[in-house]
Structure 1
Amino acid sequence: MTTTIGASASIHLHTAVQAAPATMRAVVQRAYGGPEVLRLEEARRPAPGAGEVLVRVRAASVCKGDAHLLTGKPYLLRLMFGLRRPALGVAGQEVAGVVEATGPGVTALAPGDAVFGQVKQGFAEYVCAPADRLAAMPRGASFAEAAALPVSGMTALQGLRDAGELQAGQRALIVGASGGVGTMAVQIAKALGAEVTAVCSTRHGEKVRSIGADQVIDYTREDWAARPEQYDVVLDLIGDRPLAACRSRLTPTGVYVASAGAGGEWFGPMFRLAAMAIRNAFPGPRMTSLMAAPRQADLQFLASLVEAGTLRPVIERQYSLAETPAALGHVAAGHTQGKVVIAV
């Protein structure tokens, strides 16, 4: 069966590009729920529009956002991604592959170029994306490593360098240091010249040290927010400690950057983020939230770190495209070490 996944999904064939319909395999989601709602089906291959390129996907990776979009929780997400069912029909945001074709106006990329970047509908054999959402793959990196970089790498980079304004010689604390974003953040903070303390569980401590953490706090044995040390930047990828305690761990000019937070099924971390904004109205260290944005310049910066040997994605497991439901289930369960990658 050949499936067309909604007009908004852009999974369709432009007959001006190819007379006979070409198909591909894609992981289709027609309802919110657990991994069981995902189906590997034949779908029509997309065609690039103006400013877009068609990429033959060689690898994709799973980020925490994919798990949220799978379940549609917190429910507030559905206002943006579809009230009753997912608007896109195919998930997946991080890919690496080879340019198959280019649309009108694309000059910086050409068929045969190896690229990576942040896209929509990446759990498929082909994907169309704006050319400025992609960058040349790092030299020496595999497709799996390149696919692990975009969302997690840009989240870590923008959280530390931009939101946190981390400078060389400062002290950074990474809470949730063993996950996909966390393992990137430890390495990026070191590349920026910081002294890095990582918070993770016992079983991840050795890995986090091996990628550059100067100190490791085992949260199963002690509460990082109750320790006396203070930091110039705290990148919190978990968000389960009281805000007052988090703020107390900052230097007078320090910055607390929240990229996640505990919350209910309806609004998620929104109330925690609102409380942070209220605290910023009073004197003291700054607290800010992070919503990472796709930027080609940041993809290029990440590629330069990989080529310099200062950043290497940590990949815990690899799955096939047919095993995408199991891959999302594993990430949704939490406590992954680094990234989960899907070979396409």
Structure 2
Amino acid sequence: MKRKRILKWTARALLFALILAFLIGFIAYWRSTNECDRNTGAPANPMKAILHCEYGGPEVLTLADVEKPTPTDNQILVRVRAASLNPLDLTIRGPWLLRPMFGMRKPKETRLGVDYAGTVEAVGKNVTQFKPGDEVFGGRNGAIAEYVCALADRAVVPKPANMTFEQAAVVPVAAITALQGLRDKGKIQSGQKILVNGASGGVGTFAVQIAKSFGTEVTGVCSTRNVDLVRSIGADHVIDYTKEDFTNGAQRYDLIFDLIGNHSFSERRRVLNPNGICVMAGVGGAGWHDGILGRLAGELNAYVRSRLVREKFIAYIATMNKDDMTILGDLMQTGKVTPVIDRTYKLNETADALRYLEQGHARGKVVITVD
């Protein structure tokens, strides 16, 4: 009897919480504003930045004059020389599943981009590890702009001398996603057999090279036109998915790094060794934003079902940090990892760059140069 009362009150509490959350969300929906609503006058100290004041396709992007940021005591001001796009930037379309995070009626964050590389222009009074003139690269929201401010102790590190600004700018999100997925979630070890599904994309090209740096045997999966590319960055074996389905092959893998999510739980489990791991790092591909709910549901199903078997299916979200940025800088300084750049666009061509990325067929990364 006591248990029934507890369950009844628990159900009521949950219902109340849901109603309260709905009301708060409804009010926030109608009262939400963003930078575009607040900035009605001309900036006193202007710079150029890419904004998206509303949800929509690349056509909603504008190159606008905004206030140039001033670094706080613990920040550095970076003159951006290059930035790059990531699939996350496609959320400007505002899929409803993601709007509770990004803003219901309009985007809360109007700036585009995370990855950047450039030159330090000024430093806060507490900053000792950087000085004006230093060349750096890192990750910061709103990176597709002429300037960004970044906390000096966060995800910003010196740019390797052997890298261009364009090369450095494509690293942060994609390479950290690959590194953390393989090392932290996949528990990668020397001598293992690794498969990268989506090996020719932004994250995939880094994943192949990082996996090789761990001393593993790497198989990359890509389309016909990308076979030579994937082989050139170090893959031991390449599977052309237009001719062969890797889940139907005889080869078994210790780790599958899946950036596409186009196979079922059973299909992927079939080609995993006992106690093998499938790291689900993305739901990429053309038009991914239209089918995101179905794909995420499929990956969630795989994760839940893997609790009942020896093989593990793990989904994750990468986190930017200085230590991993330093590791990636070292890998590139020593030549173990070389960024792959597909196309380069100017700042005023960002909408065209996003249209190209949206097609889902980029070979490596798409760069935005900032003059």
Q: Which TM-score applies when normalising by structure 2?
A: 0.85
SS of structure 2 residue aligned to 1:279: helix
1:28 to 32, 51, 65: 51
Residue 133 (1) aligns with residue 155 (2): yes
Shift of 1:275: 1.0
The 5-angstrom pairing of residues 4-153 of structure 1 reads 6=35, 21-67=44-90, 69-73=91-95, 75-131=96-152, 132-153=154-175
Shift of 1:226: 1.4
The aligned residue for residue 369 of structure 2 is 343
The aligned residue for residue 340 of structure 2 is 314
The whole-number CA distance in structure 1 between the counterparts of 2:151 and 2:299 is 31
Deviation per residue, 1:118-143 (Å, 9 max, x gap): 11001100011222120111121000
The aligned residue for residue 354 of structure 2 is 328
Question: Which amino acid in structure 2 is aligned with residue 6 of structure 1?
Answer: E
Shift of 1:107: 2.1
Give structure 1 regions of 4+ aligned residues with deviation exceeding 6 angstroms. Answer: 7-10
Alignment gaps of 5+ in structure 2: 1-33
The whole-number CA distance in structure 2 between the counterparts of 1:292 and 1:81 is 18
The aligned residue for residue 248 of structure 1 is 270
The aligned residue for residue 12 of structure 2 is none
Q: Is the 8 A contact 2:264 2:302 kept in 1?
A: no
Q: Is the 8 A contact 2:102 2:109 kept in 1?
A: yes
The whole-number CA distance in structure 2 between the counterparts of 1:264 and 1:335 is 16
Q: Is the 8 A contact 2:76 2:151 kept in 1?
A: yes
The whole-number CA distance in structure 2 between the counterparts of 1:238 and 1:134 is 29
The 5-angstrom pairing of residues 213-224 of structure 1 reads 213-224=235-246
The aligned residue for residue 209 of structure 1 is 231
Q: Is the 8 A contact 1:9 1:87 kept in 2?
A: no
Q: Is the 8 A contact 2:261 2:299 kept in 1?
A: no
Q: CA 1:9–1:114 in structure 2 vs 1: closer, same or farther (change >3 Å)?
A: farther
The whole-number CA distance in structure 2 between the counterparts of 1:64 and 1:208 is 20
SS of structure 1 residue aligned to 2:307: coil
> How many equivalent residue pairs?
332
Shift of 1:243: 1.1
Shift of 1:161: 1.0
SS of structure 2 residue aligned to 1:31: coil
The aligned residue for residue 255 of structure 2 is 233
Question: Which amino acid in structure 2 is aligned with residue 337 of structure 1?
Answer: R
The whole-number CA distance in structure 2 between the counterparts of 1:302 and 1:167 is 18
SS of structure 2 residue aligned to 1:267: helix
The aligned residue for residue 294 of structure 1 is 320
Shift of 1:248: 1.5
Residue 182 (1) aligns with residue 208 (2): no
SS of structure 2 residue aligned to 1:269: helix
The whole-number CA distance in structure 2 between the counterparts of 1:185 and 1:179 is 10
The whole-number CA distance in structure 2 between the counterparts of 1:120 and 1:62 is 12
The whole-number CA distance in structure 1 between the counterparts of 2:38 and 2:270 is 46
Shift of 1:150: 0.4
Q: CA 1:85–1:333 in structure 2 vs 1: closer, same or farther (change >3 Å)?
A: same
Deviation per residue, 1:101-131 (Å, 9 max, x gap): 2234322222211111111001100011222
Question: Which amino acid in structure 2 is aligned with residue 28 of structure 1?
Answer: L
Question: Which amino acid in structure 2 is aligned with residue 314 of structure 1?
Answer: V
SS of structure 2 residue aligned to 1:280: helix
Shift of 1:225: 1.3
The whole-number CA distance in structure 2 between the counterparts of 1:319 and 1:276 is 38
Larger CA deviation: 125-134 vs 115-124 = 125-134
SS of structure 2 residue aligned to 1:110: coil
Q: Which TM-score applies when normalising by structure 1?
A: 0.92
1:303 to 324, 329, 339: 329
Q: CA 1:283–1:263 in structure 2 vs 1: closer, same or farther (change >3 Å)?
A: farther
Aligned-residue sequence identity (percent) comes to 44
Residue 258 (1) aligns with residue 287 (2): no
The whole-number CA distance in structure 2 between the counterparts of 1:85 and 1:192 is 43
Shift of 1:99: 1.2
Q: CA 1:59–1:218 in structure 2 vs 1: closer, same or farther (change >3 Å)?
A: same
Question: Which amino acid in structure 2 is aligned with residue 118 of structure 1?
Answer: G
Q: Which has the larger radius of gyration?
A: 2
Deviation per residue, 1:59-80 (Å, 9 max, x gap): 001111112x22122x222111
SS of structure 1 residue aligned to 2:221: strand
Shift of 1:51: 2.4
Question: Which amino acid in structure 2 is aligned with residue 308 of structure 1?
Answer: T
